[in-house]
């Protein structure tokens, strides 16, 4: 039995999978925001309750925001800031009395979709989160690639390539840099771009819905977004050349992206043809927690 834990900013979710990927049990509870100790306790209680109810002990994989430092194993780059500076893996292993595998939540998403999701069977998969933030994860031959600095896939904190005049001056990202892809392609960034151009405050969902109904201003906003997404993903294709790119997060539900973005990225990819597939995720909001469970694979 594999237990996966998705440690989010607002909720902690646990899933138990059998060897075939069938869900045996699923539980969730609010994240004790701001409390590192409370977060550890909550995870421990979820694991203990699941094992008690199922009558068996499982492996534990945890997906979380941020990454482990290659120097001391402590958490860095986490928007759940109460995790930063703590040795989360070691503390969970001490609490649960077993080895724990830990990965960035975007890596877990990519692993889930590469294992039994939309990109099942693909050799190289890049998973993209387009939500409150922008993240990415890379899976090669069924294994998460973390990298020497534990930041493989962090495309959201590179600058948007080939900025147009309308993309100047670049906005400042929470990370301190200017013009990060996240400042252009997250859900809040889409809404902010529409507000800048129209003076009208709408959510990303409202913009998409109104564009479908013929609203010209919303259509223009989505076209700007599509051009930016195509440029940003073309950079990934040029560097990684993945078989598949799978979109997740709330903006992945906008159907038109899967037609428009591959049509637009051709001009930016250094190849005569682009074989990379742009795919919608299969497991939706469950991909992260399933990927955490799949951190334990049969070797």
14 and 155 belong to one structural domain = no
Using alpha carbons, list the distances in angstroms from residue 132 to 93, 129, 204, 281.
30, 9, 11, 17
Q: Percentage of the chain surpassing pLDDT 90?
A: 89
| Averaged pLDDT, 269-295 | 95
pLDDT over 60 at 156, yes or no: yes
| Averaged pLDDT, 61-87 | 92
pLDDT over 50 at 221, yes or no: yes
Write out the H or E segment, with its range, that includes residue 211.
helix 204-212
| Residue 203, domain member (yes or no) | yes
- Here the CATH number for the domain that contains residue 144 is 3.30.420.40
Question: pLDDT confidence of 205, banded at 50, 70, 90?
Answer: very high
Question: pLDDT confidence of 84, banded at 50, 70, 90?
Answer: very high
| Averaged pLDDT, 210-226 | 98
Name the 3-class secondary structure at 83.
Answer: helix
Position 4 scores a pLDDT of 98
pLDDT over 70 at 65, yes or no: yes
Could you tell me the residue range of the domain that residue 19 belongs to?
2-108
| Averaged pLDDT, 61-76 | 93
231 and 139 belong to one structural domain = yes
pLDDT over 90 at 297, yes or no: no
128 and 25 belong to one structural domain = no
Name the 3-class secondary structure at 113.
Answer: helix
d(CA 104, CA 156): 14
| Averaged pLDDT, 125-148 | 94
pLDDT over 60 at 299, yes or no: no
Q: Which two tokens stand for residue 173?
A: 């990202």
Write out the H or E segment, with its range, that includes residue 54.
helix 36-54
Q: Which two tokens stand for residue 143?
A: 């294994």
Q: Looking at the 3D structure of the chain, how many domains does it have?
A: 2
6 and 31 belong to one structural domain = yes
126 and 252 belong to one structural domain = yes
22 and 58 belong to one structural domain = yes
Q: Which of 108, 131, 160 is the last residue of a domain?
A: 108
Please report the sign of the dihedral spanned by the C-alpha atoms of residue 178, residue 184, residue 187, residue 190. Answer: positive
């Amino acid at each position: 039995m594999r237990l996966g834990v998705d440690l989010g900013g607002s909720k902690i979710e646990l899933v138990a999978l059998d060897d075939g990927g069938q869900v045996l049990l699923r539980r969730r509870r609010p994240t004790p925001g701001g409390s590192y100790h409370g977060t550890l306790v909550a995870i421990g209680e979820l694991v203990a309750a699941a094992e008690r109810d199922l009558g068996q002990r499982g492996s534990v994989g945890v997906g979380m925001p941020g990454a482990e430092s290659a120097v001391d194993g402590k958490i860095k780059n986490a928007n759940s800031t109460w995790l930063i500076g703590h040795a989360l893996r070691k503390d969970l292993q001490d609490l649960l009395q077993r080895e724990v595998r830990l990965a960035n939540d975007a890596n877990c998403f990519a692993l889930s979709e590469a294992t039994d999701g939309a990109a099942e069977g693909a050799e190289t998969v890049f998973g993209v989160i387009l939500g409150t933030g922008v993240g990415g994860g890379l899976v090669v031959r069924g294994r998460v690639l973390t990298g020497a600095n534990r930041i493989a896939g962090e495309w959201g904190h590179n600058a948007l390539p080939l900025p147009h005049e309308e993309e100047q001056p670049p906005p400042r990202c929470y990370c301190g840099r200017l013009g990060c892809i996240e400042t252009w392609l997250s859900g809040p960034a889409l809404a902010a771009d529409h507000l800048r151009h129209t003076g009208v405050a709408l959510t990303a969902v409202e913009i998409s819905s109104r564009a479908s109904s013929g609203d010209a201003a919303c259509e223009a906003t989505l076209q700007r977004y599509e051009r930016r997404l195509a440029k940003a993903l073309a950079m990934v294709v040029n560097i990684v050349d993945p078989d598949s790119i799978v979109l997740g997060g709330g903006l992945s539900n906008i159907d038109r992206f899967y037609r428009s973005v591959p049509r637009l990225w051709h001009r930016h990819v250094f190849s005569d043809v682009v074989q990379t597939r742009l795919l919608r995720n299969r497991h939706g909001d469950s991909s992260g927690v399933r990927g955490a469970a799949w951190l334990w694979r049969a070797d």
